[in-house]
Structure 1
Amino acid sequence: MTKISINIIEKVLSNHIVQKNIRDDADMVIDTYEIYNPNHFDFRENCLYLMKSEDLPDSDAVPVSLNVVCWGIPEGFEIKKYKNINLLMVEGITPEKNINFIISIFHRYNSLEERLNSLILENASLQEIIDLATEMVEMPVNILDLNHKVLAISTEMDAPDDPIWKSLKLGYMTEYYENILNTSPTMRDIIKAKGSSIEITSSISGHHVQVSLLRSGGRPIAYFGMHKFYETRKPFDKHTLQLYEYLFRKINRNSGQYFEMKADRGLIYEEFLLNLFNRKFKDSDEIDALLVKLGFDVDSSYQMALISFRNSDIRADLYFTIMDYLEKVMPNSKCIAMDLYIYIIIPIGGDDYLSDETQKIMTEFLDLHHCLCILSPPFESFLKLHKFNPMFETVLGFIKKQGREDRLYHFYEFADLYGMKLLAEEMPTERMVHPMIQKLLDYDAEHKSDYFETFKVYLRNESSISTTSNLLHMHRNSLQYRINRIEQLLGDHFDDWKLRELLLFQMKCLEYQDIFLK
């Protein structure tokens, strides 16, 4: 039997409701109804209780989230005392007619669910599914592919004065198609939304729409959407959203029969990667068993790659173009789109890194599609793979701060910065530097000089006056004078290589703090 909500019952009885309280967490949990017997106190969460006003129990005698329809209002009744339950108080209707209303509600939604299940079982067309969904949700709905081409759209209901709906009805690649491509929400909006569904005001029409991302095997495959056709600038009623979410879940669960998917890229891989990131595996044997199931060579070495798009509003179909291509140029690799990125596990056998030829092919492809790739260090044990995700996120921040436009990056390029980030997070104070460096910094602050920058370039170039003077565009004599002044100020000639390395490392730490922590 289908489940309905107190919100749906409220909609049907709206002309007779005089007072009500519906909790914010009310959902589709009711699958039966019962005429309340005051002598029976075994309340059930999934039951709707129908009662007379004189039988309404005290508020503290009923469980939280109970669902009640009560005809008549008791003397001295205060609705605020019943904030813990879902309660509809009705008048102007006989108990018999009220029961008939309730019976009709259950009959309607049971019938609709049976028809929907039959269509799915019979492998009916998407158009038949969408037409029934329209009848159930009482709003115009549609399904689009990832190129925004209409796969099915309501035939018995329209969204008047909505240019987006008009564009969809006229068909793919008409003169109005730019409306569809340029409207909000973007795929990024939907993926980041809770449950991959988002309610938003369309940037083109100004009307309220609800859009969800259908998935098969953990991978986005299509859009499911609903347009508001009355009071279009107001949000959807709660009962409408509840029915929409029910339909979305139903269609999504059965999406595999409507959309052809690659057999080797599925939910098992998405769960595998998520469980690795969340450290849910107990030992390497458990991981190896799944690696075999996914078609990996457990004796191989691996690299993990992350693909990030320069354009955050990229269309979904490009994700799949890139995943399909990368799996061709890197045999036996596995790709998945997750959290707006593409993650790839790449077997590299006995090699240290991907071959130069493969990297060149990848770079050309990444450049064509305006995205970047970060390659992890090679690894053999998947037990430590959870460490790569925060590494990737941090490196993306470094790349953005530095304004770099390269396409392919190796983690080792940022290993020193990442190490400094971890060090900075553990430091008890913002700056813990050598007294010599602090003395230079204090001197520069007091005298408006740049001795610290001069000294840094000098040490980095192995104390070469010639190289340092060229880099700083200073005369050799002027530079030598300044170095002498620095040595006098600090009281050391810096012949000790350990001291030089210590000072250089702390200078690098200061650079990191100045650039990446501000």
Structure 2
Amino acid sequence: MQKKNDLYKKKYELYNSLFTENSIDGILNIGENFLGNPIFILDTSYRIIARSNLAKLDNSSIETHNGESYLLLDIVQLMQKNKCIDNIYNSDNAFFHNSDEILIFCSIRINNITVGYISVLQSKRKFNAEDLELTNVLSKVLSIQLQKENLFISNSGLDEEYYLTDLLINRIDNVEYITERLQYINFNLYENFIILSIPFKQKYKDYRHNFGLKELIKKIKTILGNCISTYYKDRIIFLISNEHKDVINDSLKQTLLEFLKLNNLRCGISMVFENLLDIQDFFYQSIYALELSSCMKIDNTINYFEDYIEYYLFNMSMGTTNDFYKINLLTLVHPWIKKLIKFDDQNKTDLFKTLKTYIENNRNANDTSIQLNIHRSTFFYRFNKIQSVLNTSLGNNYDIFKLELSLKILNYNTLTKIHNSL
């Protein structure tokens, strides 16, 4: 009888910690007093949200990157191999897990959606049966506290969203590291990426019933194919990867357009990029595509940033606030230019130089041939090769303008570097 009373008192104190502590750290430390072992709180990307006092002393299974703490990749692999994550998602209650270490796991749920989980490590004392009951209570208490602190207020219930949010918020400096992290979700990393943003603002009460948001994301993911998503800053964000430069082809674009119109939605799409280190710049490209189209009273459902580059530059020159995010100029260079430079490096050709000279000579084939000191037939061979590599016809004046603008950006960047080195 006394044992039952003691357990009841512990449960009561855990629930009461919502009022006496009113913080995740405070609640965790009360939980640690009862469980007698280190407690970790993780989100579904294996990022450590919080740790109890004992857990803060244990760094053997943790690595820190860009100020955030994560489980070691070896442990992540082991958890997946042992189906531990599946058990966390499929179970409403705490359970023991035996591997190299003995642990207790328990999901933390909001609106029946798993937003994170508790991990208790047996290191200071052996577990007993009541530890599972206490962990279940701790899970419910943390669910309430997380909602109070709005940490998961915009969660859609898709585990991948923490990966993308991490990429958008934390400026990364190691592609290999993030590539390793991304391999644990159903997302193939191909050569080409784009960011697609859809404004989707809801009132606070709507977040607690986010089934609609979750279903909307799932339907768009079905259209886009290989992508991951998150809900961030009142926007649904997608990172899409494809082996082709034309990441969103005409067929996909038409399907997406019909779906967006049907749901009265608009989207902004960044330029194609290859380096995940630049993801923040391309995220803001997708945002500015929408903002500039609205500012210019252009009522397009799909808005490509590459159609607004010059207007972005105008807008940046007129910016009067310091909170205006300035996109790296080199990320404004058209993907065609980057593709030609890469092709030249791999094949020892001069296609980029040929195109640059052609544009600088006002698209005059004869003058271009003379300046490059090549025969006209050689020029036309190269020009056709350029169109073949880019899979396009360079007869459109606006396309040429975009390429010319990119060349000016590259030239300005080179001159700035020379000036700064003097």
Bigger helix fraction = 2
TM-score normalised by the chain length of structure 2: 0.40
Structure exhibiting the larger radius of gyration computed from Cα positions: 1
State the TM-score, normalizing by the size of structure 1.
0.33
